[in-house]
Structure 1
């Protein structure tokens, strides 16, 4: 999975990313670890790759990371921001 970069305009300031879906004209705010996951999704990544990257970079256990990333990815899918 990866972001639909042609359909998205995004700006990151600090640990907050403002995302505008050009196809739906909706905007979203991503903060904290979600900003890092959003950055990682600029390239094709599997769920396992995302979980591995986040557990390496942050002090979080794999189960919690997987659950939170799945929720985040589901929201991105619902917003039609992923391929």
Structure 2
């Protein structure tokens, strides 16, 4: 999976990322670990790679990370921000 690079615009401002969907003219504010996940989704990556990166970089239980990342990815899909 990967962010839709051709029709979204992202801008990092401090510890948050603003994402603009050009087709829908909607914008989203992503904070915390979500900002790091967006960075990782700049390239083609798997769900397991996302979980591994988050567990490695942050003090989080792998089960909690899987659950939270799955929910975040679902919100990105619902918002049509992923390819």
Scaled to the shorter chain, the TM-score interval is over 0.9
**What TM-score results when the alignment is normalised by the length of structure 1?**
0.97
2:61 maps to which residue? 61
Q: For residue 47 of structure 1, what is the aligned residue in structure 2?
A: 47
- The residue aligned with 2:26 is 26
Structure 1 residue 7, shift from structure 2 partner = 0.9
Unpaired stretches in structure 1, ≥5 consecutive residues: none
Q: Could you tell me how far apart the structure 2 residues matched to 1:13 and 1:67 are? A: 27
Which position in structure 1 is the counterpart of 2:17? Answer: 17
Q: Which structure 2 residue ranges, 5 or more long, are not aligned? A: none
Aligned structure 1 segments of 4 or more residues deviating by more than 4 angstroms? none
TM-score normalized by structure 2? Answer: 0.97
